[in-house]
Structures are given as C-alpha cells and as structure tokens.
Structure 1
Amino acid sequence: MKKKYCAVVLFFLSHLCSAQRNAFPDVLNLRTEVTDVKKILPSVFSDMGAWYAYALPEKKEHYGAFIGPLLMDMNGRWLANTLAQLNIAENGKEIDLSAASPAIHYYPGLLEQQLQVNELKITLQLIFVSRNEALLQTEIVNTGKQQRTLTVGYSGTTMLSTAKINALQNSIDIHFSDSEHRFIIDYLAGGKSQIQTDNQSYTVSFPAVHIAAGKAVQLLQSQKFYHRSADMQVRKNTLSFLQALNKNKMRWDAYLQQYFAKAGPLNNDKKRLAVKSIITLMTNWRSRSKDILHDGVFPSVNYQGFYGVWSWDSWKQAVALGYFNQQLAQNNIRSMFDYQDEHGMVADCIYTDKKENNWRDTKPPLAAWAVREISRYAKDNSFIKEMYPKLVKYHQWWYKNRDHDKNGLCEYGSTDGTRIAAAWESGMDNAVRFDSAVMMKNNPGAWSLNQESVDLNAYLYAEKLYLAALATSINKIAEAEKWKKEAKELGELINKRFYNTAKGYYYDKLFNTETAIETEGPEGWIPLWAGIANKEQAASVKNIMVNETKFNTKVPLPTLTADHPKFNPRKGYWRGPVWLDQFYFGVEGLKQYGYTSLAKELTDKLLLNGEGILTDTPLFENYHPVTGEGLNAKNFSWSAAHILMLLKSN
C-alpha cells in the first residue's frame, strides 16, 4: 500500500513539473511580417485582457524587435511592423543584428529573443503586467574578454497615417486623428534619452554604456495602450522586471497545473494541444472597456467581425475557462447578463459601443450549463446565488416569447420578424433545416419559425436539470423538485414529438403536423447529450452517427450528412463543416449511453485529421469533414474551449 501511494505521489509531482510553461515553447507559430495594416490573420500574443498584441519576427532584418503592436477596437489594425527596433552601435558603427545567431520563442505568457552576435548575448523579453501595460526588457551581456562601450537605442515607424508620434521626456506618445486611443512607450531604464521624431517615426538613444567582460546591462520600457485619454493612469507597477517575470511565470504555471490536474494523464502531443487551446482563449481575452462592463472573450482576434462578445460562445468558453481561470470564466458570463433586458432576454452579442449590440435574436440556452460546470471548481456558491435568478428569468423568457402555440415546445425566432435572425438564434446560421421556414408572430417584438426544433427543446430540458442542481446548491429544494418534474415531462414530450422510429433519428417538426424536416444534422444527437433518449433510441442515433456515408467522415460528425445534396463544407457555413461544439455534444452523448470506446475513436480521428490540430497551426472555427482542411476564422475560442473539454473527458 505504501509503495502504491508513493508511486501515485511521484506521478502527480512529475505531472505538475511537466506543466511548467517553459516546457511548451512555440505551441503556436507566431512569426510574421506586417505588409498590410488590415491583414490581421497571423497568430499573435496578448495577455491579461489587453486590447493589443504582438508577434515574433519572421525576417532577419527584424531581429531585435517584436512585431506590432496590433491594436484592437480600431477595426483591428497593425500600428507598426516594428515599433521598438533595438539599435546597438560600437565606435560609431552599427552592429548588424540580422547577422545574429537567433533563438526566438513564444512561451505561454512570454515572447523571447536571444541573439548571439559580435561576442554579445542579447535577450529581449516581453510580458504583459496589466490590461494596459506590457514590459519589454533588453539585456545585453558582454561574452568577450574586453570591456565594451556601446550606444544603445530604439527606433520605430508607424504604418497608420492617422497616428502621430510626439516626443516627451523619456517617452513617446502616439495620438490618433480618427479616435481617442493612445499608445505610449515609457523608457524606464537606460538613463536620460534623446528622442527625435518626424510624426510618423522616431529614434531614441541613451548615454553610452560600458560593459565589463562577463557583465550585463538591462534596458526596460513600458508599452501602454488606452482606449481613451480619460482611461490613462499613473504607472503603479513597482516590481522589478525580474519580479514581474517571476509573477508572470507563476500565473501561467498555475493555469497549466490547474488544467492538467483536472484533465489527468495526456501524452505530449495532447499536452501541447491543451496549452495551445489555453493560450488561444487567453489571447482572445478582452478586459472590460467602455460599454463592455466585465471581461469577456472574443471568438477570434484574427477576424475583425468578431471583435465583440457573443452569448453562445461565452457559455462554451466559460466551461473551459473554469478549469484554470475561474474569475475570467465568471466574468465572461457576467458580460452578457449585464445586458439582460427586463423580460429576461440576453442579447446575441455585445460591443464596446452598446448601440451596436444585436438584439434581433439570442442564442440557444446553455448559460445554466455553463454556470453549473464552472461552479464545480468554485470555492463557494456565491456565483450561483448571483446568477440563479437571472438564469431562471432567461429560461422563462423562452416559453413566454418562443412557444407560438403554447404546447410546451419552443421554436427559434427573432425580435424583428426576419427569418435570418431566427436562424441566427439557433447558432446554426444557414442550416438546411431552416431553408423553407416561415415566420409566425407571437407578440409585439417576438416571432417564431413555424417549426419546433429538437435541439432547442433538448437544451431547455437540460437547462431545467441544471437549474435543479443549482437550486439544490443554494438550498432551494422545492424549486429544484419543480425543475426536475418539468424536465421529466418535457423529456417525454421530446421523445414523442421528435423521434422518428422508422428513421431512427430525431428531427424538427412543423407546427401542428406530423411533418418532419428530415434533414440529418447535429440537432438529432443533442437528445443524447441531454440524456433524453432511451437505450434503443440512442443505439439508432449512434448507428447513423457511425455511418461512413453520413457522419463518420475523415473528420467526423459534420453539421450535415455527407450524402445530402446540399452538403457543401467549403462554402456552406453550417452545411457540412465540423464544428467542435457540436462534435463535443455528439461524443459526450455517446458516452452517456456507454459508447465510450466509440467516443474516443471519433475524438482521436478528429485530432489526427483536422488540419494542424496537433501541430503549431492555429485552431480553426470549423473543419472540412472530407479533406480535414481548416475553415473560416483562425484561433477560434470555442474550438479551443471544446478541445479542452474533449481532452479532459477523453
């Protein structure tokens, strides 16, 4: 017994040691060159909810600088290719950093360059210390045998015509003619600087430094970005760079350790994938700003149309964030419920300018699932107490506004009476099952499609059970029993209404008829995820899911069967691509009915065949089920979130 206990302890300790951030260099390829300020497709590094980001140099002529910054909430634009290019001269002659021997890496939470040139070892490290501030330290070590006298400085050129660089004492201050944004570089070490600028570019130099053999000199700068001048604060960071770097490492090590402790044993490829997924979520993290009142997570930093916070995305992101960053998980949910209206509706998405918030529709009800899942790892029930009444109001909103014939089964709909917004509400924007749908008015400001959707009602069934669990957690026992009773009744109604015995699958149905919309998509396996199907029904659904002419493609579980005439993964957003959220619901549903080996087989097939999932390629919004090609937005948050869920449960 003692030997077994020691073995477990040793395994646990070695498992945590392997969760150090330095063990995971370059899980994403961050090397790039900016040639067009509007091209924001490269993977980038951001942290702590900052609204700006950096990358690593791809070309030798950019050694000694980090690429960027990329500024967000400015329609996603690069401010510069290199805004702080290191310059070193000796005896009046520039040292050519492009000739250096480089070691350039991205670690979780850290960009680092090490350059060996002319008997100098130069290390540049960049970290974020707050949502508004990044620190960049340059250390120059004299590896030769003689004292060196060097002149050190930086230079940069903005690529935005609207930006103007002003020189201040030991600082440059960048204003923008088309916005209130400010970007500031403060030189915190190196002595009194001399700065020259011509509005679009600058150079800064410091007094000559004498470096004895084997000794080093450090220069430190702070790079800060603010949405408005009114947001600017006096710098409060009193930590040395080494202290800040150690604090940064401890924070990131904690993220990784918390996740790996919950996920259990993973091979090295899957560990690196988990880290890639964590940093994808953290890079897409945006701090509260203007009309976004709590921190939230963008769907993708690489797609300007996603520079906001979406409700459905938030529920999914929060579940994964709860494994390693509880506060962000909770705030991600709060950011959406900050705008819950008096009727209980939650907007589809929100932006820094609330006039742009989309109230034409909401998204499928998975918020209670998210609150329940992240609360499993919370220290207390305070978040449940805060959210429970809001979740109840949201749940009730569906039955008041999306049950046209008041038969206890809801429909997707919109507030403006348009079919496109109603399809958006499903989250499956252009799914084939909605092609012939028409709108029905329920009340002023509330319309429904003329079909009852099986996935929506399965989500509502699951939400009743999650509300029951949350009510039990805060000692509302009578309410918990009410939710359980409602769930039982709804589950029976779903099986009776939507399951087609002859086909062995669940389908949407038109109002007041037995006419099924016999398009087979992920909606048909959501009743397995929710636990509604009986054993025989689950077996029939499973048989369709493993059919190679339908769902068991190279990358399995597409959003439309491969034998459907409208199957078109490359052009059809929800007409064939594999979305990782629907994949997750599918394999979790299989596991609920004992098909654990099959779920693992499908998951491994996804990880192996999806483009770049197990390499340093970004995670895509969705994947081509036949070719494996990554499709649409890169570095997609809910793909990363569901990868973390899949790895944890696989």
Structure 2
Amino acid sequence: MKQMRTWILLLLVVQSASAQRSRYPDVLELRTEPPAGKSITGNVFSDKGAWHAYALPLRKEDNGAFIGPLLMDMSGKWLSGSFSRLSLFENDQNIDLAAAKATATYYPGLLQQDLEVAGLVIRQQLIFVSNREALLYTGVVNKTGRARHLELRYSGQSQGITAVRNAIQVQGFAITFPEKTMLMADSLQYVAKWDVAIPAGGKYEQTQVQAYFPDGVRPARRYDFADELKKNETRWNGYLARYFPPASKLTAPEKRLAVKCMVTLMTNWRSASKDILHDGVFPSVNYQGFYGVWSWDSWKQAAGLATFFPQLAKDNMRCMFDYQDEHGMIADCIYADKKENNWRDTKPPLAAWAVWEIYRHTKDAAFVREMWPKLVRYHEWWYQHRDHDRNGLCEYGATDGTRVAAAWESGMDNAVRFDSAVMLQNGKGAWSLNQESVDLNAYLYAEKLYLSKLAAVAGSRGDVYRSEAEKLRQRISAQFYDERRGYFYDRLLGAPGHVAVDGPEGWIPLWAGVATPQQAAAVKEKMASPEKFSTKIPLPTLAADHPAFDPMKGYWRGPVWLDQFAFGTEGLRKYGYSTLAAKLEAQLLEQAEGMLTDGPVYENYHPLSGKGLNARNFSWSAAHLLMILKNK
C-alpha cells in the first residue's frame, strides 16, 4: 500500500511539473526587429481571441519596448514598430536602457522583459485579459541604498493619434494610462510621463490597458494586474494539465512541440467580431489571405483544440454553422465582413468527425444535440447537390460552374487528379466535376458512422446511417480500388477505369475503415515505398515518382500536408501497421524544419529536404500535431 501511495504521489508530481507554463519558455522564437506596414511573416503573440498581437524585442536599442502591436481585421498591419516604448530619466539625464543587462522571454500566455541598469531592476509583463484588452505592467525596483527621483515615460508614434484625458486612441487601438498621467500628444506621437520617487529598496508599479477594437472602441475597464496575472497562469496551466496525461511518454522536446502547437492555435484565435458571430481560428496570422475562418480547417482545428480547450473547439464549429444556408451548405470561408464570404464551394465533410472528437473529450451531450440537426442537413446536402447521376456516389463541385472552385472544394486546390476534369450541371447553382472522388466518398462513409454514434447521444435514430454506411463501404471498396495498381483512385463518370494518380486520397479509405485487409496491405506497400511516399518527410501529396511532382511550386503536387499525413498514419494503425505509422511519425518530428526547435509550425513541408513551406504558424498543422503526439 505504501508503494502504491508513493507511485500515485510521483504521478501527481510528474503531472504537476508538465502542467507548469514556467517550464516552457520560448517554445517559439518571438524576438524580432520592429516590422512595418503589412510585413506580417514573423512570429507574434496573441491570446483570448484578441485582434491584436505583439512580439519581443531583438535589438538592445529596443530594450523597454514590446514590438507592435500588430492589428488584425480583414488584413494585418503594424500600428507601429513599438508603440509603447519605456524610457527613464534622472536629474534630466536619460538612463540608457540599451546598456541594461536584459532578458526577454515568451512564456505561454505571457511576454516578459527584465532589465537591470544603474541600480534599477525593471520588469515589464504583457498579458491579455479579454478578447480586446491586454495589460502592460511595469515594475521598477530601486536596489540602491538611497532614494531615487525618476521621470518615467512611455512614448510612441503613429498617424492619427488623439488624446482624451489619460488615454490615447489611434486606428481603433487605445491605451488607457493610470490616473494622474501627464499626457502630451499630437496627431503623430504621444508622451505619457510620471514623476516617481522610489525609496531605497522600494518599488514603483503601474499598469496600462492596451486594447484594439475592430468593432468599435469601448471604455477601458480597471484591472488588478497581480490578480489577472494569477488568473492568466492558472488558465494556461489548466490547458497544459488537460493535454498532458499524468504519465506522458513524450520527450522534453516533444512536450515543447505540443505547447508550441497550443500557442500557435491560441495566437490564431479570433473572437466574435462584426459578421463573425462565434469565436473561430484563422489558418495563420502570418498570411494576409488567411484572415478569415475556413470550414474544413475549422473541423480539424476543433479536433485538435478538443485535447486542451474544448470550449474554443465548440465555438470554432459554431462560427461556420452560423452561416449554414437554407439547403444545408456550409460556406468555404467566412470573414468579419460577410460580403467577402466564399459561397462558390464548400470543403470536404469532416464536421461530424470533429463533433465526435469534441464529445469524446468532453461528454457534452448538449453540444451534440445542438449540432445534430445541422450536421444532418449538411450531410444530406452533398447527396442533393453533388451527386450528378444520383447513384449514391458524390463528386466535388461548385455553385458557380467553375472548375477552380470545384477543385477548391476538394481542399486540394491544384491536385493533379483534377487536371483533365470538366464541369457538369446538376441543377440551379449546383455543379459537379465529372469524376467521383474516393476521398470524398470515404469521408461521407465516415460521417455516416459518426452520425450514427452522435444520434445515440442526441436521442435520435441512427440506424439509417449505419445501413447507408455499410452499402457505401462495399461500393467504395469495389469501385474505387484498382486491383492491378493496388491503390484507390477517383473514377470518371460514365467511363471505365480510374484517374490513376497516386495521391493521399488513396489512403483515406484506410482512415475511414472502408478498405479490406488485402486492399489495406497493398496501399501500405505504396505508402512504405521510398520511390512513392516514404520520402525524408513521409507521405507527400503526390507520389515522388510522378512527372508533376514539384514540392517547391506545387502546393498540392508534392508538399507534405500534416492533415493528410495524420490521416495516413491513423489509417495504418487502424489496419494493424502501428510500427510503420510510428516510424513515419518519428521521421516527421525529427526531420521537418523547426519541428523540435523554436521554429514555427508550417503549412506544409518539402518531402525531400524537410524545409518548411508556405504559411508559418499554421493552425491545422498545429492541431494535427497535437493529435499525432497523442499516439505516443
């Protein structure tokens, strides 16, 4: 019994240690020179769904400043390189902060800068306290044996500054200073000053509220920084405790990767604003074209978020379904200005899977009941609007009859398998490609199984979906599998044969569970082949021996996308190939650029070199890595 109590105590100690945010400094490199304008490719920090972000200073001349803010609405732009810059004066002489002994650290949920100069110890901390507001705390300790009389200043520059009492506003961004601030401002710059007397060994503290309101400036609230910092730490430790099991098998670098993925998702989190009615997650804060919320991105992000922040996972689902149309369709993407929403296409049907993942982690039956009728309508929409010949097998398509929008609907925008496809009209505002896609129908099969399980939770009948799933399983196995090539392919409407392009769509039947054991074994051989898919970073989106294989320029013609990678290794595990799945995952983690360092998570990776490609800090990559690490 004593040994059992000791073992339990050790488990609790391990869990407690893994769940302390102080153990994960700088999981992502945030130090940068002040950027300008719309150059938004650097790593930044945001939290609580706020629409602004910051970074840490890199240069010694930026000591005393946090970089930013970056303002985010329909696009991103820097308000200033450093809009809140600290300076100190004593006897009218500037205390040179560039000469200070300085450290700048990014903890999950917290930016911190410590300076030591001229007998003073200065700490600046920045946290988010709401979906619009951040607090900037400044503490100055007098380490000398004499009283110090200082003038403390904060200053910044930008166009369009206005001052009101102890606050300044510019372009929807507002700073509210403590009472009794001496504030001077014109339209281009401001200076806020305080005369400070600090006794020997004493301390001066102040907190300012920095807020960005894309949807209209509101009065600042008052906050107690010490109290808010404690709540901030408790919240982030809670995320970590939820993700890391008591006896996690993850190595220290893998734990840091998991935390990096969490902060990636949290920095891409945007709260409800304007026409976005629930909180959602952008694909990437670092790419101007991704300042919106996408549908299948949201399904994947929700599944990953469910591992540590289920409430955001639920809202990420809701924000897309807020715009479900009268037919059941979900838009490809939505924006803070709904006039920009893309209704030309939708995205692959993984919504029921995501809701099931949320339920699996939360057992929230009320959320399932809320989503159930919406999921049913979305599922049925595919058969009403994307089954050209009404044979029960669906095609990707578009509402506007364009092939480019139909390819977008697959999510694999420029995949080789669509190069020769043409459009067929199904009805008003409904078009299909002239090929039935194996991944689409495998996803629909999986959705039927998830709907049948969700039906039991929602108190509805799921028998029809189980019956439909079995019929569809048999058809996919028989009609999309090529015996001679040992792989699954799309098939043309009204023509024999398959669209014989080796891509990730061919292993989605393993993820969905529709392949026979013999079919799975043949697909596994291709996945394990160095000539095909077992490249340095495994499971590229086009076989390496295909003439169109071009990872640097191909987007979906060669790079490794982590959603398709994760579906591939999960499919292998489903059919008993766990050793191969673990090997491929280890290759990814060990050889992809920046994965186990402080580099960002990328949109995709070069399968031959491991180089990170396209957008940085990509949300669905982070979400799938959180799920991949759970396989340890």
Same fold (TM over 0.5): yes
Aligned to 1:185: 175
After superposition, where does 1:374-385 map in structure 2 within 5 Å?
374-385=358-369
CA distance in 1, matches of 2:229, 2:96: 28
> What amino acid does structure 2 have at the position aligned with 1:419?
R
Distance in 2 (CA, whole Å) between partners of 1:262 and 1:183 is 42
Measure how far apart 1:472 and its partner are.
1.1
1:168 to 138, 141, 164: 164
Distance in 2, Cα, partners of 1:196 & 1:560 = 60
Q: Deviations over 1:317-344 (max 9, x none)?
A: 0011111111110000000000000000
Rounded to whole Å, the distance in 2 between the matches of 1:104 and 1:234 is 31
In the alignment, is residue 212 of structure 1 matched against residue 199 of structure 2?
Answer: yes
Separation of aligned partners in 1, 2:184 and 2:232 = 33
SS of alignment partner, residue 615 of structure 1: coil
TM-score, normalised with respect to structure 2 = 0.98
Find the partner of 2:390 among 406, 416, 426.
Answer: 406
Name 1:121's counterpart in structure 2: 121
1:224 pairs with one of 189, 207, 211? 211
**2:374 alignment counterpart:** 390
Question: 503, 506, 526: which one pairs with 2:488?
Answer: 506
The residue that corresponds to 1:141 in the other structure is 141
**3-state SS in 2 of match to 1:376:** helix
8 A Cα contact 2:74 2:292, kept in partner: no
Q: 1: distance between equivalents of 2:439 and 2:551?
A: 21
Secondary structure of the corresponding residue to residue 584 of structure 2: helix
> How far apart, CA to CA, are the structure 2 residues paired with 1:380 and 1:586?
29
Matched with 1:279 is: 263
After TM superposition, give the deviation of residue 501 of structure 1 in Å: 0.9
| Residue identity in the other structure for 2:622 | A
The whole-number CA distance in structure 2 between the counterparts of 1:640 and 1:144 is 47
Q: 2:184 aligns with which of 188, 192, 196?
A: 196
- Distance in 2 (alpha carbons) for counterparts of 1:432 and 1:185: 51
How far apart, in 1, do the equivalents of 2:446 and 2:16 lie?
A: 35
Code of the aligned partner of 1:244: E
- What is the match of residue 525 of structure 1? 507
Is 1:84 aligned to 2:79, yes or no? Answer: no
Shift of 1:4: 4.1
Q: How much has 1:9 moved relative to structure 2?
A: 4.1
Shift of 1:8: 4.0
Query: 1:131 aligned to 2:116?
Result: no
Output the amino acid matched with 1:193: T
TM-score if structure 1 supplies the norm length?
A: 0.96
Query: For 1:380-459, what aligned pairs fall within 5 Å after superposition?
Result: 380-459=364-443
Q: Is the 1:263–1:649 contact (alpha carbons within 8 Å) kept by the matching residues of 2?
A: no
1:372 Cα deviation (Å)? Answer: 0.4
Contact 1:16 1:261 in 2 (8 A): no
Query: 1:540: how far off?
Result: 0.5
Further displaced range: 634-643 or 319-328: 319-328
Give the alignment of 1:635-650 within 5 angstroms.
Answer: 635-650=617-632
Cα distance between partner residues in 2 of 1:166 and 1:263: 54
Give the aligned partner of residue 550 of structure 2: 568
Q: Deviations over 1:555-611 (max 9, x none)?
A: 000000000000000001100000000000000000001111111110010011110
The structural deviation recorded for 1:11 is 2.0
Aligned twin of 1:316 = 300
Could you say what the CA RMSD is over the residues aligned between the two structures, in angstroms? 1.2
Partner of 2:577: 595
Residue 502 of structure 1 aligns to a residue whose secondary structure is coil
Query: How far does the alpha carbon of each residue in 1:495-517 deviate from its partner, in whole angstroms, 9 at most, with x for none?
Result: 11001111110010101222211
- What is the CA–CA distance in structure 1 between the aligned matches of 2:215 and 2:528, rounded to whole Å? 54
Q: How many angstroms does 1:380 deviate by?
A: 2.9
Aligned partners of 1:591, 1:470: CA distance in 2, in Å? Answer: 23
d(CA) in 1 for partners of 2:101, 2:573: 51
Is 1:287–1:296's contact at 8 Å kept on the other side of the alignment?
Answer: yes
Cα gap change, 1:39 to 1:543, in 2 (>3 Å): same
CA contact (8 A) 1:143 1:214 kept: yes
2:225 to 241, 260, 276: 241
Aligned twin of 1:179: none
Number of the residue aligned with 1:331? 315
Three-state SS of the structure 2 residue aligned to 1:377 is: helix
CA distance in 2, matches of 1:263, 1:289: 40
Aligned length: 632
Contact 1:16 1:260 in 2 (8 A): no
Distance 1:278 1:35 in 2: 25
Q: Do 2:344 and 2:405's aligned partners in 1 also have CA atoms closer than 8 Å?
A: yes
Structure 1, unpaired ranges of 5+: 177-181
Amino acid at match of 1:73: D
Per-residue CA deviation, residues 192-249 of structure 1 (Å, 9 max, x unaligned), is 122222311111111x2221222110021101111243xx333344x41000000000
In 2, the alpha carbon distance for the partners of 1:379 and 1:368 equals 15
Of 32-41 and 480-489, deviating more is 32-41
Amino acid at match of 2:108: P
Choose from 525, 533, 550 the match for 1:543.
525
- The amino acid of 1:164's aligned partner reads G
- Percent identity over the alignment is 59
Distance of 1:90 and 1:309 partners within structure 2: 50
Task: Give the SS at the match of 1:164.
Answer: coil
**1:25 maps to what in 2?**
25
In structure 2, C-alpha distance between the alignment counterparts of 1:496 and 1:28, rounded to whole Å: 47
Q: Distance in 2 between matches of 1:4 and 1:618?
A: 41
Instruction: Say whether the 8 Å CA contact 2:113–2:123 is kept in structure 1.
Output: yes
Q: Please tell me whether the aligned partners of residues 27 and 260 of structure 2 are also in contact (alpha carbons under 8 angstroms).
A: yes
Q: Which moved more, 1:481-490 or 1:583-592?
A: 481-490
**Is the CA contact 1:262–1:323 (under 8 Å) kept in the aligned structure 2?**
no
Return the offset for 1:531: 0.7
Q: Work out whether residues 293 and 338 of structure 1, in 8 Å CA contact, stay in contact via their aligned partners in 2.
A: yes
Take 2:10 and 2:368, find their aligned partners in 1: how far apart are those partners?
A: 36
Deviations 1:603-640 (A, max 9, x none): 01001111001111100000000010100000000000
CA deviation string 1:350-398 (max 9, x = no partner): 0011111000000000000000001112253001000010000000000
Q: Retained in 2: the 8 A contact 1:316–1:641?
A: yes
- Specify the SS of the correspondent of 1:450: strand
Structure 1 residue 480: Cα displacement: 1.4
Provide the rounded CA distance (Å) in 1 between the counterparts of 2:506 and 2:526: 10
Indicate conservation of the 8 Å contact 1:410/1:456, yes or no: yes
Q: Deviations over 1:514-533 (max 9, x none)?
A: 22111000000000000111
Q: CA separation in 1, counterparts of 2:8 and 2:393?
A: 50
